Structure formats: structure tokens, C-alpha cells
Structure 1
Amino acid sequence: MCRWTPSVAHLSSLCLACFTLLLVTAGTATGVCPPGVGHEPLQVLASGINCSWTLERHTRSYNHLEGDVRLRRLYSANKFFLCIDKTGKVDGTRRKNYADSLMEIRSVSVGVVAIKSVSTGLYLAMSKKGTLFGSVKYNPSCKFKERIEENGYNTYASLRWKHGGRQMFVSLNGRGKPRRGHKARRRHPSTHFLPMLPS
């Protein structure tokens, strides 16, 4: 009695057909391929791109950041810890374990954070003129764009306010005093902070 045994070539073409069907089905459900990548299965395989799910997964991958809370001390490149006292005054201190320098950094959306002093309960905020202050209530002036710079330090730019189209940054000068946001630039050491774990 004769028994049919599929060849390797036959199995390969069968797998390719299944893969094509999967791509077509998923593609119509979730989106289209990115520019420059065709719908031919071999072209998709060669490009190494999962075209149907690229955009959806890219967006989804950031969801875990929203609501993320970190307890940190923001240590400036000028060797000061950012602090907010109970009167709402923003300043810098060299005291490592100063209570007012412990901050709760909460991600409110992708790349945007709210910074709150744990001891005083006040939020770091920036006025339209670029002045830093502690706000009792969380509002749009308390949102900052957090960015990791090439040197490994973070910068914090006001999400709400700009000056002449330029971003305004959280900044401490060489004496530990807050610098007006419009006078600070991304490359200035005064705008660079290391979020340090509390000891």
C-alpha cells in the first residue's frame, strides 16, 4: 500500500501560504505596512518587520509609563539637590538627606511628569514668566517634559509655557538658586539633573 509523505519543499510552501493568510488577515484588522515595505510575504520576511502590528505595539509599549511613580532626589550638575519648602519656595541644597528634597516623580503621560515634594506635598510648577514655585494644587503648570540627555542627566522643560518659541527649563544656578526658565538652555549644566535613589 502506498503512503504519501510530504516533501520539505511542499511543507515550506504550505507554511508560506499560512503565513501570507495570517498577514493579510491581521493587516486588515489592525492597519497597514509602513512605507517602503510591501505586502509580499518574502519582502516582509526579508525586512524583518512585523508590518501589521508595528504601529499598534509601538503605542502600547509606553502604557506602563503612565501612572509610574518614583521617589528620587534631583541632583543637579551644579551639585545641588532641588527642594521645595513649605512656603512654596524652590531652592537648591547641598544637604544629601534634606527632607524637602525628596521628590515623588509621577508619569502623567508619555515623557511628561509631575514632580511633588514628599514632605511638603507641593508640586513643582513654572509660571508664564519662567519662575519656579511650589503649587498646592496640581494643574497644567506642573507638567514637565522629562528627557534623558546624551550625558545621562535629565532635563525638565515646562509643557505649558514657552518663551519666544523656546522651551523653558527647570534650572539651578551655581549658587543653588532657581534660574528663570527663559534664561536656561538644554545644554547648560544648570538644567541637568540626576534622579538619585533616596538613601
Structure 2
Amino acid sequence: MCKWTPPAIGLHPNPAAAGTSAAVPPVLPRAASFRLACIALLLAAVSALGGCPQGDPGDAGHKQLQGLVEAANCSWTLERHARSYNHLEGDVRLRHLYSANKFFLCIDKSGKVDGTRRKNYADSLMEIRSVSVGVVAIKSVSTGLYLAMSKKGTLFGSVKYSPSCKFKERIEENGYNTYASLRWKYGGRQMFVSLNGRGKPRRGHKARRRHPSTHFLPMLPS
């Protein structure tokens, strides 16, 4: 914080000129100039950072900063709160998960996870529900079974919803989504939902984020 001390000298640069009748323009004391420079830098920093200074509202320095910010038409609040993403929880989408290998993910009534090339196949229509930020549960609409992954990375249809049914949904750079198990990892690496070139599910630990087999495009039912 820049602190200004009252100048000990007069406004005249030459003491001898103080007693003359000629008008001499006042010179701004060095301390005052330094203070104005500090204020200008402060306002520029506030504008560039896109936020207001934080601190104890009862602190004198905080009140001084607040006054400077308000003078600069600052519209932000001094007390910033974390954003709430609760509106995303419970969001439900009906989609066909179409893989980059050109298969639709499906779960049959026996709990077998497979891929099919049949468009609008009943077992491939999925209910994708957001259970938390970036985490979804995937359920077959026709069979009512949840997509789940075992500790070994095997995909299966589960009758009951459990932590094994939670997947981290991420939109990749190519526009496709990847789904990684939230619960299980293999050697510290994420395990992904994946369909190979024959439409068969791959073990989660054999799939990688950049593999086309792990990329799915959520398609609206027609």
C-alpha cells in the first residue's frame, strides 16, 4: 500500500521566490506525485485482473481500496462466492452412443454389453443422467440396466445403481465424448468405456483416451 506523508517543504521550488510578487506556478510535491502514481497503478491492476481486492471488511486499508475501486465504477463485490453447479445434477438425456468405430453401444436384457450397427436399435437407447458435475450414469431404456465397469475393467449391465456405474464424461477436441470409470483405475491410469473394431467391448485398462475405440458421439433418437 502506498502511504503519503505531508510534504515538509513549501510549494515554491525556490525559497527566494516566495517573497517576490511574481506568481510562480505551484509544483506538486514529490510524495503527492508518488501517491497519484500508486493510485493509477492500483486502478489499472484492478481493471486488468477483473476483480476487486479481498480482505477484512473492517480493515482500514481494505476500506481505502474499496473507495478507490468504487470511484473507478467497479461493479464486482468484495466477497466472492464459489459458483454453484447444482443445476447440472439430475439432468437427463436420451441418446444413442455412437462410437468412432461406427457401432452403437447397447446393453441387452442379460446384462451383456455389445456394439451394434443397427440404427435406432432398442437396446442402444441410453438414458444419460448427470449425478454430479462431469459424472454421469448410463442406463439402457429398454432393459433398465445400468452400464457398469468391474475392478478388472470389464463392462456389464447392472440391475442396481452403484459406484461402479459412475463415469466421468469428457468432451474431447474432436467433439466426441469419452467415459472413464470414476471408481476404478488400473495402475493409476483411467479405464475407459470402449468398443473395438468388431464392436466388442475392450477391457478398460487396454483403452486410452486418444483411441477411437473410446470415442462416442451422443446422438438424438430419431
Paired residue for 1:40?
Answer: 65
Paired residue for 1:153?
Answer: 176
Q: Residue 185 of structure 2 aligns to a residue in which SS?
A: strand
TM-score, scaled relative to structure 1:
0.75
CA apart distance, 1:71:
0.3
Name the CA distance, whole Å, in 1 between partners of 2:181 and 2:87.
23
Name the CA distance, whole Å, in 2 between partners of 1:44 and 1:162.
51
Q: 1:88 aligns with which of 108, 111, 125?
A: 111
Q: 2:147 aligns with which of 95, 117, 124?
A: 124
Name the CA distance, whole Å, in 2 between partners of 1:149 and 1:68.
20
Say if 2:165 is the partner of 1:142. yes
Q: Alpha-carbon deviations, 1:56-92, whole Å to 9, x = none?
A: 2x2x1x2111000000000000000000000000000
Q: How many residues align?
A: 164
TM-score, scaled relative to structure 2:
0.68
RMSD between superposed Cα atoms in Å: 2.7
Letter in 2 for 1:168: M
Percent identical residues: 84
Q: 2:76 aligns with which of 30, 50, 53?
A: 50
Q: Residue 199 of structure 2 aligns to a residue in which SS?
A: coil
Q: Which has the larger radius of gyration?
A: 2
Q: Alpha-carbon deviations, 1:16-74, whole Å to 9, x = none?
A: xxxxxxx89x9879xxxxxxxxx83456897x783545442x2x1x2111000000000
Q: Residue 162 of structure 1 aligns to a residue in which SS?
A: strand
Paired residue for 1:100?
Answer: 123
Name the CA distance, whole Å, in 1 between partners of 2:71 and 2:212.
46
Structure 1, unaligned stretches of length 5 or more? Answer: 1-22, 30-38
Q: Residue 129 of structure 1 aligns to a residue in which SS?
A: coil
Paired residue for 1:76?
Answer: 99
Name the CA distance, whole Å, in 2 between partners of 1:88 and 1:110.
27
Which structure carries more relative contact order (alpha carbon 8 Å, separation 6+)? 1
- The 1:179/1:44 distance shift into structure 2, 3 A limit, reads farther
Could you list the runs of 4 or more consecutive aligned residues of structure 1 that deviate by over 3 angstroms after TM superposition? 26-29, 41-46, 48-55
Q: Residue 40 of structure 1 aligns to a residue in which SS?
A: helix
- The 1:128/1:54 distance shift into structure 2, 3 A limit, reads same
Paired residue for 1:12?
Answer: none
Q: 2:86 aligns with which of 42, 59, 63?
A: 63
